[in-house]
Amino acid sequence: MVVLSNREELKNNILDIEMNMLQEVPVKLRAACQDDLKTFFLMRGAQYVGWSHETLQSYYNDLLNAKREGKNLMILKYGRMDNLIDTLNLDPLIEQIIDIQFRWQKELAGKYPGLTSQVGRPIEETVEPTMNGSVYFKNYLRSELETYSSATLKLLYRDVLTYKEKGSNMVMDIYLNMVTDLGFRSLEEAEKLAQKAAQYQRTQISDN
């Protein structure tokens, strides 16, 4: 086990491994973020805002163990998203984490519909094309969580419960981190721009 005491170093090491794994995902499964690494680091890094240091450390070791075993967690995740491989992990904590985060995502979408439609995944399953493809929120999150070890899932569930007990919303914090890194002062400011972008897109479609 490799232990890192500096949170920022730990997060950056995680992102470096994930980025390298992402580049190995087959072309058939290719994700848009493979061609935009700056966006990958910004958006992916925000995912870890609500994670404790202990959870980050556990996931970092998941990645190191996967590398030693010749496994690519990104290939496994995208394979699950496209239903190309069987379920990877039946840990019951997965559905419990999804249930809480799904409620948080719905709360976020209710408050900031323009922002979530521009940079979020669809809340419900859909066959309609979106900016992020047709992979809806629960499917994406489940595919991600199935690549985590039981130890990491247990720690992440603890983090999620801590947020819930405080009445906080981890997904809201993730989006706030993303938009502030992009230069916005608040979610409200980012929402206004997203609404304008959505209106422009609708105008372009109607004109065509």
Question: What residue type is assigned to position 112 of the chain?
Answer: Y
Which is nearest to 72 in space by CA: 5, 28, 17, 12?
17
So what's the pLDDT on residue 162?
97
Residue range 51-79: average pLDDT? 96
pTM of the model: 0.87
- Give the pLDDT score at 134: 52
Alpha-carbon gap, residue 64 to 4, rounded angstroms: 13
Angle at 142 (CA atoms; ends 139, 145), nearest 5 degrees? 150
Reported as a single tens digit per residue, the pLDDT across 8-50 is 999 999 999 999 999 888 865 455 555 667 888 888 999 999 9
Amino acid at 171: V
